[in-house]
Structure 1
Amino acid sequence: MKYKTVLFDFDGTLMDTSRGILYCAKRTIEDMGFELPDDMTLRKFIGPPLKLSFVNVCGMSDEQAAKAVQHYRERYAEEGMLEADIYPGMEKLLQNLGNSGVTCAVASVKMEKIVRKTLAHFDLTGYFDAICGAPEDINIKGKEAIVKEAVSRTNSSPEDCILIGDSDYDAKGAQAAGIDFCAVLWGFGFSRMEDAAKFTCRYIADDVSLLERFLLK
């Protein structure tokens, strides 16, 4: 085994949460009185910290974005949280990692309580030794602290860990936290091999079976 501890990003890596995220983002943008971006641009809401998306995608001020985050979170907890699917083959991968003695954890910029509720709903909690997400603070701008927290909660050494993720936020968070990174192309950040190759990746996986081969063989 290459790594003793495998950290997984949540949105776009473990689960396809696009239905709930995009629905709630659209409703929030409309309620805030801003023009809806096109569908491709709207997908930029999946992955990065939420407040940054309202600023960067919609052009909201800091104050407007803060209000939008609160509005989104309320709607998402009521209507969007469970509009998700685990990616095909992912649960089997988690089973195989656990059976091989690998410690698994989640490291996400989504609020931790939402990640926990979603995983519990889909009966996935038991695969993880730690579930680390964002605190209530809406001003989070990156993933470094969350990755470090996941390493700490699993009692792991950075050199034994790798983060699996689908975006530049994941790649930058892993690098800043001093751990290896593996990019996946089935999510919403990296759509091409060339996009992921701009970052330091130990591996770039087109599908879950290739990710499993990299991690366990």
Structure 2
Amino acid sequence: MALQQVVEQIVTGLGYDLVEIERSPGGLLRVTIDLPWVQPTVDAPVPATEQFITVEDCEKVTRQLQFALEVDGVEYKRLEVSSPGIDRPLRHEQDFVRFEGSVIDLTLKAPIGAAAAGQVSATRKKFRGLLSRAESGGWQIVWSDEPAVKPGQKVSKKRVPAPLQALGFTLDELRDARLAPIVDFKGRGAKTGQVPG
């Protein structure tokens, strides 16, 4: 059985989602897991408290994987099982649905091109903005190129804010997409839906 199949079978069998598998030089096998996501419905809205992967979850998966990989003869020197972290990769359509409305960093495989550029450089590949559904049914990222205001900096009331920009994309056009690693030291109850500058 292939490595992907073995790992996925063990991880999902224990009740977790497999986010990614990485093989690194030196024999490191890194497996990233997350709790399964259930799309909210009218009958089952979003739970009030988020649940996260714990050390105990990682230990449980590690023990099972060590046994299964040994039985299948998969060679590795070190196994690392972890949570996706604050810069969680977005790989599948379900990931984009789950994190709609979040600030993400995305990198395109190819520059956007002169035809679609408008105010954006035609050679630009990297964007940080708010993930949302496009009117066409696909996905888009919305951002403003306005620099962030530094603490204590006075902003003129006459200053015209930079316009919001949007870029539609398909999953095939992406090289990488991740949740933006934004840490708010004021707590989890921060304002949501703000477009980053």
TM-score range, shorter chain: under 0.3
More strand by share: 2
TM-score, length of structure 1 as denominator length: 0.25
Higher RCO (C-alpha under 8 Å, 6+ residues apart) = 1
More helix by share: 1
TM-score, length of structure 2 as denominator length: 0.27
